[in-house]
Structures are given as C-alpha cells and as structure tokens.
C-alpha cells in the first residue's frame, strides 16, 4: 500500500486501485486527496517500475476519460475507482 498522505490535508485520503494497460500489474493505492494527478502518476509509474522516459496519464476506467493532471486527484476520482496508467505515445511508421 502506498501512503503519500499530506500531513496538512483536511480532506483525508483517497483509496483506489491502479493497473497498467495490459493488466499485468495491479496495485491498491492510497493518496492524499489534494495531491495533483501529475504527482500521483509519477508515484505510480515509479511504483510499477514503468519506463520513466515515456509520458503517462491516468485514465478512469469507469468513464474512459483521462484525468486532468493539473487538478487534485480527489476532485476527479471516487473512492474505490480503478485507474489505468496509460502511455501517451503512439505507434508509427517513420523510421
């Protein structure tokens, strides 16, 4: 369990599950609600040992929407949600 509680947060913690796109990694996590999605993403990428030279975003599996990385995680996710750490990169044909 990852605890990244902000000591001065008055809004508590948010628990949810996070996985990668192929479903080979799955983590129960808990973050301070005030943390930005960007910070949460960085922690999850590190925790899942995903490549850190790729841009990653969090996708709420219920809505399929990508979370706004500049806003707090607590404003965008419900407790018990599941997010997918998704690479923002593409397949391509140019060498």
**Closer residue to other proteins, CB minimum distance, 41 or 84:** 84
Cβ of residue 34: shortest distance to other proteins, in angstroms?
A: 24
Q: Measuring CA to CA, which residue among 46, 80, 44, 42 is closest to residue 61? A: 80
- DSSP for residue 76: T
Tell me which residues touch other proteins (CB under 8 A): 18-27, 47-54, 56, 59, 61, 64-66, 84, 86-87, 89-95
Cβ of residue 57: shortest distance to other proteins, in angstroms?
A: 9
Phi, psi dihedrals of residue 75, rounded to the nearest 5°: -85, -10
């Amino acid at each position: 369990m990852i605890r990244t509680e902000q000591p001065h947060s008055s809004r508590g913690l948010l628990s949810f599950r996070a996985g990668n796109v192929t479903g080979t990694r799955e983590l129960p996590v808990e973050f301070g609600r005030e943390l930005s999605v960007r910070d949460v993403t960085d922690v999850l990428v590190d925790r899942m040992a995903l490549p850190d030279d790729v841009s990653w975003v969090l996708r709420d599996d219920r809505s399929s929407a990508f979370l706004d990385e500049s806003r707090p995680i607590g404003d965008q996710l419900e407790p018990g949600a599941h997010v997918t750490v998704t690479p923002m990169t593409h397949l391509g044909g140019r060498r």
